[in-house]
């Protein structure tokens, strides 16, 4: 059976990103797809790292299409996205691939929904402080992980491997969509592309 594959960098994102993508795929009403176990890439902000990730995907004989998802901490996704897509294109994979860069971090997608997460138990004795609300520019915050930690109980910090999946499960797509988060909109467009690829096999289109 043909499968879709996801490539991420962080340990916490392996299950969190998979949960996000599978739920969002269904929320968008896209045709049924089976997502294989996510793959972890290294240095996905470099050509060498992306090409290595492409070889991991190529090794999966049942791969029908793939999504490469990483954080774009300080750069501009509008520039880095097509550049990364060009590196993928250079690998000449036989199936469609979409590239999405979360600006600035995957965790920025939590912030528009943070009021829905506040006060709920993430793990024993760990909750985001009640009354926490979304900052004015959630995608403009550098170090969202630190921002979250400051709203955890004293002595506790946000840990992606323990907390990222649970918070991802609490994302409300309607609320996140209404926030206008541009990198989330890119993710939605990327999934639509993978569900019905055009003559181009790469999203976003690499710049000449």
Please write the tens of the pLDDT for every residue from 156-182: 999 999 999 999 999 999 999 999 999
Residue 208 scores a pLDDT above 90: no
Tally of residues, the chain: 208
Please write the tens of the pLDDT for every residue from 26-79: 999 999 999 999 999 999 999 999 999 999 999 999 999 999 999 998 888 989
Residue 1 scores a pLDDT above 90: no
Of the pLDDT bands very low, low, confident and very high (cuts 50, 70, 90), residue 131 is very high
Work out the average pLDDT over 138-144: 92
Tell me what pLDDT residue 116 has.
98
The position carrying tokens 């879709």 is 4
Of the pLDDT bands very low, low, confident and very high (cuts 50, 70, 90), residue 199 is confident
Q: What is the pTM of this model?
A: 0.96
pLDDT, averaged across the chain: 96
Distances (CA, A) of 69 to 20, 102, 120, 151: 11, 7, 27, 26
Tell me what pLDDT residue 206 has.
87
Contact call for residues 42 and 54 (beta carbons, < 8 A): no
SS3 assignment for the chain: CCEEEEEECCHHHHHHHHHHHHHHHHHCCCCCCCECCCEECCCCCCHHHHHHHHHHHHCCCCEEEEEEEEECCCCCHHHHHHHHHHHHHHCCCCCCEEEEEECCCHHHHHHHHHHHHCCCEEECCEECCCCCCCCCCHHHCCCHHHHHHCCCCCCCCCCHHHHHHHHHHCCCHHHHHHCCCHHHHHHHHHHHHHHCCCCCCEECCCCC
Taking the C-alpha atoms of residue 106 and residue 144, their distance in angstroms, rounded to an integer, is 9
Q: For 1, what's the count of Cα atoms within 13 Å in the CB-facing half-sphere?
A: 8
Tell me what pLDDT residue 29 has.
98
Work out the average pLDDT over 197-208: 84
List of domains in the chain: 3-106+180-203 (3.40.50.261), 107-176 (no CATH)
Backbone phi, psi, residue 75, to 5°: -85, -170
Distances (CA, A) of 97 to 83, 107, 134, 180: 14, 23, 32, 24
């Amino acid at each position: 059976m043909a499968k879709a594959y996801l490539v991420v960098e962080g340990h916490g994102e392996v299950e969190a990103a998979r949960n996000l993508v599978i739920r969002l795929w269904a929320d968008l009403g896209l045709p049924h797809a089976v997502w294989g176990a996510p793959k972890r890439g290294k240095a996905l902000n470099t050509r060498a790292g992306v090409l290595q990730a492409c070889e991991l995907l190529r090794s999966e004989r049942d791969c029908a299409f793939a999504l490469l998802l990483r954080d774009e901490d300080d750069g501009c996704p509008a520039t880095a996205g097509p550049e990364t897509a060009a590196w993928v294109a250079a690998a000449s994979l036989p199936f469609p691939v979409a590239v999405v860069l979360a600006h600035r971090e995957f965790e920025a997608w939590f912030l528009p929904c943070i009021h829905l997460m506040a006060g709920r138990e993430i793990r024993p004795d760990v909750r985001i402080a009640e009354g926490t609300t979304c900052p004015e520019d959630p995608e403009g915050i550098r170090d969202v992980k630190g921002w979250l930690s400051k709203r955890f109980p004293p002595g506790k910090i946000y840990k992606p491997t323990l907390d990222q999946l649970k918070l991802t499960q609490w994302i409300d797509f309607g609320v996140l969509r209404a926030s206008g988060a541009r990198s989330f909109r890119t993710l939605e467009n990327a999934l639509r592309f993978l569900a019905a690829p055009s003559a181009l096999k790469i999203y976003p289109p690499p710049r000449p």
